[in-house]
Amino acid sequence: MAGQSQFSSQLKRYYSLYTGGVIGFVVLLSILEQMGVPNQTLGYIFLGVTVAMYAGIGILSKTSDVSEYYVAGRRIPALFNGMATAADWMSAASFIGLAGTLYITGYDGLAFVMGWTGGYCLVALFLAPYLRKFGQYTVPDFLGARYGGDGPRMIGVFAAILCSFTYVIAQIYGLGLIVSRFTGLDFGVGVFVGLGSILFCSFLGGMRAVTWTQVSQYVILIVAYMIPVIWLSVKHTGNPVPQIAYGYVLQQVTAREQVLNDANTPDGAREAEVRGILKQRQTETETRLGALEAGGEAYLTAERARLEARLSALRKQQAAEAEVDLAARELHAFPRDVAAAHNAWRAEVEADRLKSAPIAAHAEPYAGPDEATRDNKRKNFLALVFCLMVGTAALPHILMRFYTTTSVKEARLSVFWSLLFISLLYLTAPALAVLAKYDVYTLLVGSSFSELPSWVSAWEAVDKALMNVSDINKDGIVQLAEVTIGGDLIVLATPEIAGLPYVVTALVAAGGLAAALSTADGLMLTIANALSHDVYYKMINPKAPTGRRLAISKGLLLLVAVCAAYVTSLKPGDILFMVGAAFSLAGSAFFPALVLGIFWKRANKSGAIVGMVSGLSVCMIYMYITYPFFGVNAPLWWDINPISAGIFGIPVGFAGVILGSVLSRPPTAKVQALVDYVRYPNMAGDEGRGAF
Amino acid sequence: MQASERHRRYWRDNLRMTGVLLAIWFLATFGVSWFARDLQTLTVLGFPFPFFMAAQGALLIYLLLVGFYAWRMGKLDEEYGVGEGD
């Protein structure tokens, strides 16, 4: 114990020095910026240095010891395991996507905030201490020992790989976006650069290396998230604690929403005018869509010819340059074939329909025009919260982290620290969304087109889908309905909105990179370990020597990385859906079997197999038949969105475990003794039976 | 090794606490969210109450629950002599 506390205080010293170093580095770079070093170079230095540092920690932590490789030697102090879990947990979706989702959806987006934190209550109460007492290496390990035989273990391996792989694709996708946006590299190259650094971290040192890089990544990501928000909060409220200050700002935003929605005020009248134009444009596009459906290719050709004729007429008349430009751009953007035209015009109709509607109040829960819409929103909100929570308590890469603490007591404490470190970001994201909204509603809206803030034009140049302002009613003043903001912009542009130097923007990019890298690290390790430990060592060759086990694990890691990069480069689907799907899948497959395995001695092998298979199947089938990507488009069950498929899978999983167990023989005395073993932190006779 | 009477009592206490904490978790999350529209008029620290709960209140309650559980279970381990010792 003395050794452990010395280890702990040593770690605190190292990481304090490290945090100081990070701050010093930021200061140094801002001096370089003042001296006139170009932004692109600063971006390169920032990303390069942080990635090199993670790789360095990975190399320093290399190990060839099995326990070090799989569970970091089980000596990670609770505080540091908390930080590592937080970094493991908070992905690119939390760091970049969450505040943007909240900006766009207001109250309804808070399902993610509650879901992604409340799940830790379930981890603490039902799983972490017991898994730590069990004290093996992976989650399928527990299923294998508790239920006996290879069946439950194999299903566990399949489910662990399925949900981790879905999740890791989303991370690598985010990684590629960040690297390509901030260094100007191609998306594909960005993916491989990011992946290379992940491999450096986990390849040589397994869990041990991943833990220590995750702790350092947590420091960077939280500093990067906080600095701009604190600054913005001081700017708008004079209060440096955004979480407290934004209640007042939210009131201002609500008041402003009412003004903008009221056509009797001057600002509201201008909004109404723009909305009228948008509504008209929507109807026109709908007419064109109708004509396209009727006329097909012929209609498209005629339309293109009309645009060409107009352009050449304008050129002949020597019309104003802006007008010619506009016509040329319109022709250039004209869809190539019927399918493209159909998609593009559908999207335009949808965008105009959203923008011509009155502003939904930010703080209003389940806003909708009628009772049915509101009820539907409430139902889906609750279902999503439930799936995210249960999924949190079932994702193998998170549960695995609780094997690494020194004791059961430390495991319980470590859940507390994890939740604390996670909450720091999750309490801030809603504040950021409101502060950014306030900025847009009061400073951008009503400003003149001739003097737009510089961040607006900067981001317009990067991507029109992220930021676009166009003077629709030609009055020279910005109206809210003329502004398009993509969700991902909020976090990335906050430093500029707050008027901070470019260094902070680079810091935010490095923070996003840290978030994506740390999660991808944990996930890939989970997949490789499930294959090498559970499949190879436990099922194929139990006599394999240590060296061979680790070599196979590392080889698999490489293979998984290449597969993941390949799938990512195909750019599949929607990130938020993939992340949500991973939660529903994990919750349906693991949660019932794990919890009943600890809390119900009667649960047995048949029950586990029936429960896991039926839960997972229901969840997968529901996603398959309802998510538009797969093209089946069956009607929804009780209007539940496909992202919350777990709301059906999880209860079916519980029912399956219970029915399957009751209908077959109770488990053996040895298995019942294992249940007692995991329930009590210490029992007389525990000594000498550490491994089941 | 068979669990003694002492162990069974420890487990019962644990289950009771787990149940109570779970009930609080459920109310803070699903109870408040279900009635969110009806609670709109209440205000806490300048926030409408449901917004405050979903954005901050529930998170703080979760933290308290998890912290309390870790602390209380540590005590319970010692009381029943099932702690891991140092």
Residue pair B76/B10 in contact (Cβ under 8 Å)? The answer is: yes
Beta-bridge mates of residue A477: A448
Closest approach of chain B CAs to the CA of A394, in angstroms? 17
CA angle, residues A343, A334, A350, in degrees to nearest 5: 35
pLDDT of residue A686: 53
pLDDT tens, position by position, A633-686: 777 788 888 888 888 999 999 999 999 888 988 888 888 888 888 888 877 555
pLDDT tens, position by position, A213-230: 888 889 889 988 998 889
Q: Place A691 in a pLDDT band, splitting at 50, 70 and 90.
A: very low
- The answer to whether the CB atoms of B47 and A250 lie below 8 A apart is yes
Which residues on B lie below 8 Å from A376 (Cβ)? none
- The C-alpha atoms of residue A632 and residue A641 are separated, in whole angstroms, by 14
pLDDT of residue A114: 93
- Determine the average pLDDT of the residues in B4-8: 82
- The C-alpha atoms of residue A158 and residue A150 are separated, in whole angstroms, by 12
pLDDT of residue A2: 55
User: Touching check for B54 and chain A: CB below 8 Å?
Assistant: yes
- Determine the average pLDDT of the residues in B37-65: 88
Q: Who has greater pLDDT, A149 or A91?
A: A91
Closest by CA to A381, choosing from B59, B21, B65, B50, is B50
Q: What are phi and psi of A149, to 5 degrees?
A: 80, 170
Beta-bridge mates of residue B43: B48
Residue pair A237/A248 in contact (Cβ under 8 Å)? The answer is: yes
Q: Which residues contact A633 (CB under 8 A, 6 or more apart)?
A: A625, A626
- Going by the DSSP 8-state scheme, the letter that residue A690 receives in this structure is -
Q: Place A692 in a pLDDT band, splitting at 50, 70 and 90.
A: very low
pTM given for the model: 0.87
pLDDT over 60 (residue A1) = no
Other Cβ atoms closer than 10 A to B47: 23
- The C-alpha atoms of residue A472 and residue A275 are separated, in whole angstroms, by 9
Q: Place A572 in a pLDDT band, splitting at 50, 70 and 90.
A: low
Which residues on B lie below 8 Å from A681 (Cβ)? 77, 82-84
Residue A266 burial (10 A CB sphere; 0-12, 13-18, 19+) = exposed
Q: What are phi and psi of A664, to 5 degrees?
A: -130, 180
Other Cβ atoms closer than 10 A to A298: 9
Percent above pLDDT 90 for chain A: 12
Closest approach of chain A CAs to the CA of B76, in angstroms? 11
Beta-bridge mates of residue A484: A468
Q: What are phi and psi of A483, to 5 degrees?
A: -100, 130
pLDDT of residue A684: 58
Which residues on A lie below 8 Å from B47 (Cβ)? 247, 250, 363
Nearest to A673 among B1, B51, B56 (CB): B1
- The C-alpha atoms of residue A317 and residue A411 are separated, in whole angstroms, by 78
Q: What is the 3-state secondary structure (H, E, C) of B39-84?
A: CCCCEECCEEHHHHHHHHHHHHHHHHHHHHHHHHHHHHHHHCCCCC
Nearest to B33 among A120, A381, A423 (CB): A381
pLDDT of residue A347: 82
Local structure of A76: helix, strand or coil: strand
Q: Chain centroid to CA A323: how far?
A: 42
- The answer to whether the CB atoms of B55 and A427 lie below 8 A apart is yes
User: Touching check for B58 and chain A: CB below 8 Å?
Assistant: yes
pLDDT over 50 (residue A271) = yes
- The C-alpha atoms of residue A245 and residue B12 are separated, in whole angstroms, by 44
pLDDT of residue B3: 63
Other Cβ atoms closer than 10 A to A420: 18
- The C-alpha atoms of residue A51 and residue A43 are separated, in whole angstroms, by 12
Residue type, A121: C
Please name the residue of chain A whose CA is at the shortest distance from the CA of residue B81.
A682
Q: Who has greater pLDDT, A690 or A566?
A: A566
pLDDT of residue A422: 93
- Going by the DSSP 8-state scheme, the letter that residue A370 receives in this structure is S
Closest approach of chain A CAs to the CA of B18, in angstroms? 6
A467-469 and A483-485 as β-strands: parallel, antiparallel, unpaired? antiparallel
- Going by the DSSP 8-state scheme, the letter that residue A667 receives in this structure is P
| CA-to-CA dists, residue A147 to A189, A358, A391, A492, A614, angstroms | 45, 56, 21, 47, 17
Q: Place A689 in a pLDDT band, splitting at 50, 70 and 90.
A: very low
pLDDT of residue A524: 84
| CA-to-CA dists, residue B29 to A385, A439, A520, B22, B67, angstroms | 8, 30, 29, 10, 18
Which ipTM value was assigned to this complex? Answer: 0.93
Q: Place A316 in a pLDDT band, splitting at 50, 70 and 90.
A: confident
DSSP character string of A8-72: HHHHHHHHHHHHHHHHHHHHHHHHHHHTT--HHHHHHHHHHHHHHHHHHHHHHT----HHHHHHG
B47-48 and A483-485 as β-strands: parallel, antiparallel, unpaired? unpaired
Closest approach of chain B CAs to the CA of A41, in angstroms? 38
- The C-alpha atoms of residue A563 and residue A554 are separated, in whole angstroms, by 14
- The answer to whether the CB atoms of A118 and B25 lie below 8 A apart is yes
User: Touching check for B7 and chain A: CB below 8 Å?
Assistant: yes
Q: Which H helix or E strand runs over A467?
A: strand A467-469
Which residues on A lie below 8 Å from B86 (Cβ)? 1
pLDDT over 60 (residue A570) = yes
Residue pair A622/A642 in contact (Cβ under 8 Å)? The answer is: yes
pLDDT of residue A111: 92
Least confident span in A268-282, A452-466, A547-561, A566-580: A566-580
Beta-bridge mates of residue B9: none
- Can you give the residue ranges of every domain in chain B? 5-79
User: Touching check for B11 and chain A: CB below 8 Å?
Assistant: yes
User: Touching check for B73 and chain A: CB below 8 Å?
Assistant: yes
Please name the residue of chain A whose CA is at the shortest distance from the CA of residue B64.
A416
Q: Using the structure block, give the residue that is written with the tokens 């299923």.
A: A143
pLDDT of residue A383: 93
Q: Chain centroid to CA A426: how far?
A: 12
- The answer to whether the CB atoms of B30 and A385 lie below 8 A apart is yes
Q: Which residues contact A53 (CB under 8 A, 6 or more apart)?
A: A216
Residue A276 burial (10 A CB sphere; 0-12, 13-18, 19+) = middle
- The answer to whether the CB atoms of B66 and A129 lie below 8 A apart is no
Average predicted confidence (pLDDT) for chain A: 84
User: Touching check for B3 and chain A: CB below 8 Å?
Assistant: yes
Region of A463 on the Ramachandran plot (φ > 0 left; ψ -120 to 50 alpha; else beta): beta
- Determine the average pLDDT of the residues in A532-547: 79
- Determine the average pLDDT of the residues in A596-618: 90
pLDDT of residue A690: 44
- The answer to whether the CB atoms of A365 and B25 lie below 8 A apart is no
- Going by the DSSP 8-state scheme, the letter that residue A449 receives in this structure is G
Q: Place A122 in a pLDDT band, splitting at 50, 70 and 90.
A: very high
- Determine the average pLDDT of the residues in A162-189: 78
- The answer to whether the CB atoms of B54 and A107 lie below 8 A apart is yes
- Determine the average pLDDT of the residues in A385-403: 90
Residue pair A240/A428 in contact (Cβ under 8 Å)? The answer is: no
Q: Chain centroid to CA A37: how far?
A: 33
- The C-alpha atoms of residue A378 and residue A367 are separated, in whole angstroms, by 9
Q: What are phi and psi of B43, to 5 degrees?
A: -130, 135
Please name the residue of chain A whose CA is at the shortest distance from the CA of residue B44.
A247
Residue type, A359: I
- The answer to whether the CB atoms of A409 and B3 lie below 8 A apart is no
Other Cβ atoms closer than 10 A to A95: 26
pLDDT tens, position by position, A428-453: 999 999 998 888 888 888 888 888 88
- The C-alpha atoms of residue A637 and residue A648 are separated, in whole angstroms, by 9
